[in-house]
Amino acid sequence: MDTGNEQMRKANNLQYKRFYRMVPLPSVAVLLLLFFVPLFFTLSSAFITEEGLTFLRVLEVFTDSYTVKIMLFTLWQATLSTLFSLLVALPGAYLIATYSFRGKRLILALSAIPFVIPSILVVLGFVIFFGNNGFLNRMLMSLFNLSEPPLKILYSFKAIILAHTFYNFPIIMSLVSSYWEHLDGNCESASQTLGANKVQTFLRVTLPRLLPAIISAASLVFLFCFNSFAIILVLGGGPQYTTMEVEIYRQARMLGNSGAAAALSLFSILTTTLLLLWYNASQRRLARSETYQNSKRLLEKRPATLSGKLLALFYTVSSFLFILGPIASVVIRSFMASSSRSATESFSLKWYRQLLSLERATGHMGSALGALTNSTLIALLVALCTVPVALSMCIAIRRREGKQSFLELLGMLPMTVSSVIIGLGYYLISARLRGGLALSYTLVVLAHLVIAIPFVLRTILPEYRKIPLSYMHSSLTLGAGPVKTFLLIELPLLKGAMFTGAIFAFALSMGEFNATLTLANSSITTLPIVMYRLIGSYNFQGACALGTILIGVCTIVFIVSEFAKGGSYGR
Amino acid sequence: MADNGLTCSLKASYKDFTLDAQFSVQAGELACIIGPSGCGKSTTLQLIAGLFAQEGGSLLLNGQDIGQKPVHQRHIAMVFQDYALFPHMNVEQNIAYPLKIRKLSRAKRKERVARLLSLVALEGYQKRRSQELSGGERQRVALARALASDPQLLLLDEPLSALDAKLRKHLREEIRRIHDETGITTVYVTHDQEEALSIADRIIVMHAGRVMQEGKGEDIYHNPASLFVATFMGEGTTLPYSLIPKTLVNPGASDPFVFKPMEGKHTIFFRPEHVLVQDDKNLPLAEYLPHLSFKQAEVQSCEFQGDHYRLACSWEGHTILCHSSYRPRTPMVTLGVRINRIREYVDGESIAKRLLSPVGE
């Protein structure tokens, strides 16, 4: 038999594999276009000036003492924020993993909030809750009869660290505790029967086993803090607390020096890529280090000692207060208004009336309704487009299981670039194209798409991997072709994951601030942008009204994602 | 016979494993492929089904070369190890799936599903969800689904391995009954030799990607073609040929054995149920029967198995397995094996009675 015949036979034989090879091509093209074109624009303006190709600009930026200071500060604040998050999160992880107590479910549920809440909302909640005129200060003032607000933390380094801690500690807590819960508890028992006391057991057995999970969660949080934008921009309150991301935005949009911004983004991209590689490696180490137990480790016990009970109580109350407090205060403030400057605030629908244009709005509130419709339309579009792209990539990734998937890496690629830099890329494109408003909005949608795709991919892919290959094989042997198999077996089984992914994409786009702000000109209005402008002009209640709508969207996402956890077919 | 049943010559390779297997199954037969894990038996099924690429060779089913056809056009049904019941469909929808693909009318589908369910003794299960079924029920639904489209060949990939021992025995009887009722040509993969011996018309023993022996269960058990097959299909004792002169008891003629030494390592093999165990020195063997006798064998272990005792005895550094109907009263016993129960191998390959050929047997 000659080789040509052989090859043909092989191709025919595995016709169904060809289908899976073709499926991802359009999405790959879309992703490459959406990601690399803006990146190309960014990098080219870092290296190419009117005089042609030059490394001078990059060199200049990297040796400038001001930028070096910013780089160091960026790393320093991320390190400190990560440490504080660990400090707050680890006791909680211990409590959750070891004990069952009232409020545990609540803490676990609450800890999912930071995963879905947009950063602009964190910022607003912080101002409203911790501000000089915020809920916490007012509470303390009336409690202790003070005339001055006791906590002055806003617009300072403390505020940045505090906000990052609040925003990120639940991530560490839930990741570490879920790993901890599934560790085989017999190892601890074995250690104790071998003569080690509780402390020795913890230090020599439990901690080393937990370490991979802790490192993995901490590096994720470090990455988030490194790329943090809105929190630093608003809460940092000044040039002395500028990080990389804020400086990129400032150079590009305030100083009009997009070349310097592009050069700066090189550093950011490099660091983020390294961090992501490290995070990926730590994830792989995590997967290798333990055989994951399906059953709960021990019979859960209630905290026995008084100090244990107090710790549990304290933790429940404080996480309740600090996670929910800022969010609740945003909602409460949105329903309050004072009739005149001196009068005390009372319940009012003023801001919602202004928002819906039922009342004459002042300042930026005038653009609120437009922003709401814009954001909703953009988010809908993003949700509808990301799911098919992510799904088709999942199909191809699933097919090549075993090999390090190039496609999976490609799908995660947009994560290596912070959303500010994606925004910068699209801003540079818009500067070249000089189109109208429609073009600007198109670019916003595209930027959101790039940002949302990795998240949707991460939502659908694990669900796809849960479908045993034997289902597809079974369907093929029963006479259904690859397309029919996809429509009748895979698609129905992925319905839930696709819906969750769409909802995620919708919420992500609704709350997207970093890229939108970086790329938007003044005529573009989306919900978070208008919120930012309202905060900037000290109309906090107006911002709260918009924030409440955003909270509503996030709540839906939150509920859906909680349901999706238990909602897949019992296999 | 080539146009009746399955004839295959399969070649495939991946990483450090190559598969090169030739065997045939006659129409209406139930054939078992058996082998240790990693021997390529599941790969063989996937090659037949078309789920894995074939590198040359041929695959003939009822006279047609199906090697080039895509999976869904081969008319080969397969029951997977995890049953692969679609979780978003109920029992009826699962079984009707291949019928729907073939665009049968709703009424016909309903009628056929009912018939199949009664075949697998699950009448009235139409509306159950697959999650509500027990392991055995799932297995039977998977079987009904595989049979729904009247396939030309049925492949079963370790269909009972996920079930407990008692259910396994019951269900293998069921599979045999269903096979006899439908008469469908079936290839059944298992790693359990007892299962293979009890269910199969024909057994195909595989090892390291190759077919070691193919034949009826009795043939394979009593005349294993190689030491591998001998030890894989049941227990036994392997001893070097050199101890024959020492142990041979030849009450008949002076020297009735022809001894033809060959190149390679000579070994003998026999099954434990063919060993006679006696706690006094006299074996209850008829005087004229030539046999090997192992005197002063020490009983190392004695396990009660219900209908017999399983003994491991040590004789001059060799371990001999034997079955006894009673528990020996002394620590030392005498063991005897008749010559005609002994199989001979050179370098692991059978050399049917070449070294020892008794006159008159």
Clarify whether residues B209 and B260 are in a common domain.
Answer: no
Chain A residues within an 8 Å CB radius of B46: 473
**Domain contains B358:** no
The pLDDT value given to residue A3? 40
The pLDDT value given to residue A151? 76
Out of B55, B70, B84, the one facing A468 most closely (by C-beta) is B84
The pLDDT value given to residue A382? 94
**Domain contains A226:** yes
Clarify whether residues B244 and B213 are in a common domain.
Answer: no
The pLDDT value given to residue B357? 56
pLDDT at B321 over 80: yes
Q: How confident is the model at residue A116 (pLDDT cuts 50, 70, 90)?
A: confident
How many domains does one find in chain A?
A: 2
pLDDT at A341 over 60: no
- The verdict on a CB contact (< 8 Å) between A477 and B51 is yes
Out of A13, A468, A481, the one facing B50 most closely (by C-beta) is A13
> Which of A266, A301, A334 is where one domain is finished?
A334
Chain B residues within an 8 Å CB radius of A477: 49, 51, 71-72, 74, 76-78, 146, 155
What CA–CA distances, in Å, run from B254 to A219, B294, B354? Answer: 86, 21, 19
**Domain contains B231:** no
**Domain contains A278:** yes
Q: Of A315-319, B23-27, B123-127, which range is least confident?
A: A315-319
List the single best residue of B46, B86, B150 to mutate versus A (max A Cβ within 10 A): B86
- The verdict on a CB contact (< 8 Å) between A570 and B78 is no
The beta strands (E) that lie in A327-368 are given as 336-337, 346-347
Could you tell me if A530 and A513 are in contact, meaning their C-beta atoms sit under 8 angstroms apart? no
The pLDDT value given to residue A570? 41
Per-residue pLDDT, averaged over B204-221, amounts to: 92
Chain A residues within an 8 Å CB radius of B80: 470, 473-474
Clarify whether residues B167 and B142 are in a common domain.
Answer: yes
Q: Which domain holds residue B35?
A: 5-224
Question: Which chain B residue's Cα is nearest to A1?
Answer: B56
- The verdict on a CB contact (< 8 Å) between B98 and A478 is yes
Residues A479-517 have pLDDT tens digits of 888 888 989 998 999 988 898 899 889 989 999 999 999
Q: What is the CATH number of the domain that holds A571?
A: 1.10.3720.10
**Domain contains A340:** no
Token pair belonging to B199 = 């269910």
**Domain contains A188:** yes
A387: distance to nearest CA of chain B, Å?
Answer: 21
Clarify whether residues A130 and A190 are in a common domain.
Answer: yes
Q: How confident is the model at residue A107 (pLDDT cuts 50, 70, 90)?
A: confident
Clarify whether residues A148 and A244 are in a common domain.
Answer: yes
> Which of B174, B198, B224 is where one domain is finished?
B224
**Domain contains B70:** yes
**Domain contains A502:** yes
Per-residue pLDDT, averaged over A165-193, amounts to: 82
Give percent of chain A with pLDDT exceeding 90: 11
**Domain contains A292:** yes
Rounded to the nearest integer, the mean pLDDT of chain B is: 86
Angle (deg, nearest 10), helices A437-466 and A419-433: 140
Tokens 């390090």 — which residue? A404
- The verdict on a CB contact (< 8 Å) between A470 and B56 is no
The pLDDT value given to residue B292? 86
> Which of B224, B258, B274 is where one domain is finished?
B224
Out of B72, B74, B75, the one facing A480 most closely (by C-beta) is B72
The pLDDT value given to residue A42? 84
- The verdict on a CB contact (< 8 Å) between B78 and A477 is yes
pLDDT at A260 over 70: yes
Give percent of chain A with pLDDT exceeding 70: 88
Could you tell me if A569 and B132 are in contact, meaning their C-beta atoms sit under 8 angstroms apart? no
Per-residue pLDDT, averaged over B315-331, amounts to: 91
Q: Is the dihedral of CA A349, A353, A356, A362 positive or negative?
A: negative
Q: How confident is the model at residue B203 (pLDDT cuts 50, 70, 90)?
A: very high
Clarify whether residues A272 and A388 are in a common domain.
Answer: no
Q: What is the CATH number of the domain that holds B141?
A: 3.40.50.300
**Domain contains A381:** yes
Q: Which domain holds residue A103?
A: 55-334
Question: Which chain B residue's Cα is nearest to A471?
Answer: B84
Clarify whether residues A36 and A132 are in a common domain.
Answer: no
- The verdict on a CB contact (< 8 Å) between A477 and B49 is yes
Per-residue pLDDT, averaged over B186-194, amounts to: 92
Clarify whether residues B288 and B252 are in a common domain.
Answer: yes
Query: How many C-beta atoms surround the C-beta of residue A243 within 10 A?
Result: 26
Per-residue pLDDT, averaged over A421-428, amounts to: 89
Residues A183-202 have pLDDT tens digits of 777 777 777 778 778 788 88
Clarify whether residues B62 and B205 are in a common domain.
Answer: yes
Clarify whether residues A257 and A362 are in a common domain.
Answer: no
A290: distance to nearest CA of chain B, Å?
Answer: 25
Q: How confident is the model at residue A27 (pLDDT cuts 50, 70, 90)?
A: confident
- The verdict on a CB contact (< 8 Å) between A478 and B53 is no
Beta-carbon contacts below 8 Å between A and B: 99
Of A351 and B211, which is predicted with more confidence? B211
Prediction ipTM score:
0.81
d(CA A215, CA A286): 9
Clarify whether residues B213 and B323 are in a common domain.
Answer: no
List the single best residue of A469, A478, A486, A491 to mutate versus B (max B Cβ within 10 A): A478
Clarify whether residues B50 and B196 are in a common domain.
Answer: yes
- The verdict on a CB contact (< 8 Å) between B74 and A477 is yes
Q: How confident is the model at residue B165 (pLDDT cuts 50, 70, 90)?
A: confident
Clarify whether residues B247 and B212 are in a common domain.
Answer: no
Per-residue pLDDT, averaged over A164-188, amounts to: 83
The beta strands (E) that lie in B133-185 are given as 153-157
Clarify whether residues B185 and B215 are in a common domain.
Answer: yes
Q: How confident is the model at residue B259 (pLDDT cuts 50, 70, 90)?
A: low
**Domain contains B106:** yes
Query: How many C-beta atoms surround the C-beta of residue B305 within 10 A?
Result: 8
Residues A32-72 have pLDDT tens digits of 888 888 888 888 888 877 677 777 777 877 788 888 888 89
Per-residue pLDDT, averaged over B122-142, amounts to: 91
The pLDDT value given to residue B17? 84
**Domain contains B128:** yes
The pLDDT value given to residue A9? 43
Clarify whether residues A214 and A294 are in a common domain.
Answer: yes
Question: In a 3-state reduction of DSSP, which class is residue A166?
Answer: helix
Chain B residues within an 8 Å CB radius of A12: 68-70
Token pair belonging to B181 = 């009722």
Clarify whether residues A303 and A189 are in a common domain.
Answer: yes
Clarify whether residues B185 and B87 are in a common domain.
Answer: yes
B306: distance to nearest CA of chain A, Å?
Answer: 37
Clarify whether residues A33 and A79 are in a common domain.
Answer: no
How many domains does one find in chain B?
A: 2
**Domain contains B37:** yes
End-to-end CA distance of chain A: 45
Of A382 and B56, which is predicted with more confidence? A382
- The verdict on a CB contact (< 8 Å) between A477 and B88 is no
**Domain contains A344:** no
**Domain contains B361:** no
Clarify whether residues A393 and A519 are in a common domain.
Answer: yes
**Domain contains B87:** yes
> Which of B224, B258, B292 is where one domain is finished?
B224
Clarify whether residues A260 and A379 are in a common domain.
Answer: no
Rounded to the nearest integer, the mean pLDDT of chain A is: 81
B contact set with A (CB within 8 A): 46, 49-51, 53-56, 67-78, 80-82, 84, 86-88, 97-98, 101-102, 131, 145-146, 148-149, 155
Question: In a 3-state reduction of DSSP, which class is residue A302?
Answer: coil
